[in-house]
A = this chain, B = another copy of it.
């Protein structure tokens, strides 16, 4: 009977793992406030400056209010009139609410990021979106 219990528990663990893998990337798993930032470099052709900026963005991951993080560069999707792929790097941060986004803005790590890396960019555009049900 111990073996039966063990097998049952293993099946339960495996089923649980399968379910959470399937659900992980689905809508309900993403915190509701998306903070989407696009950066244009002063030297848009400088791979070195792009790498430095990405290095800076990565430091933000240590800020505890961040519930999800996607650091990107323009993707190789089809060129269309509506697609803006002129930016150099993007960050997409998820927060539980606007208060957490504010706490992030004034967090010393974010302040240090602005102090140390803002000389690299010429333009920033931010979109803050809250999820609708």
- On A, residues with C-beta under 8 Å from B are 1-2, 5-6, 8-10, 12-13, 16-17, 20, 23-27, 29-31, 33-36, 38, 54, 61, 67-78, 80, 82-85, 87, 89-90, 92, 94, 98, 101-102, 105, 124-132
Could you list 7 examples of A-B contacts with CB < 8 Å? Answer: A9-B12, A24-B24, A26-B69, A27-B71, A30-B30, A33-B77, A77-B98
Q: How far is the CA of A61 from the CA of B25 in the complex (A)?
A: 13
Question: Is the Cβ of A74 less than 8 Å from the Cβ of B9?
Answer: no
Contacts of A98 in B (CB 8 A): 75-77
Residue pair A70, B9 in contact (C-beta under 8 Å): no
Contact A78 B102 (CB under 8 A): yes
Tell me which residues across on chain B come within 8 A of A82, comparing CB atoms.
Answer: 124-126
Residues of B within 8 A of A75 (CB): 33, 98, 101, 128-130
Q: Which of A24, A70, A78, A85 has the most CB of B within 10 A?
A: A70
| Cα separation A130 to B98 with both chains bound (whole Å) | 26
Determine how close the nearest CB of chain B comes to the CB of A2; give it in whole angstroms: 5
Q: Are A85 and B128 in contact, CB atoms less than 8 angstroms apart?
A: yes
* Shortest Cβ gap from A120 to chain B (Å): 15
A51 to chain B, nearest CB (A): 9
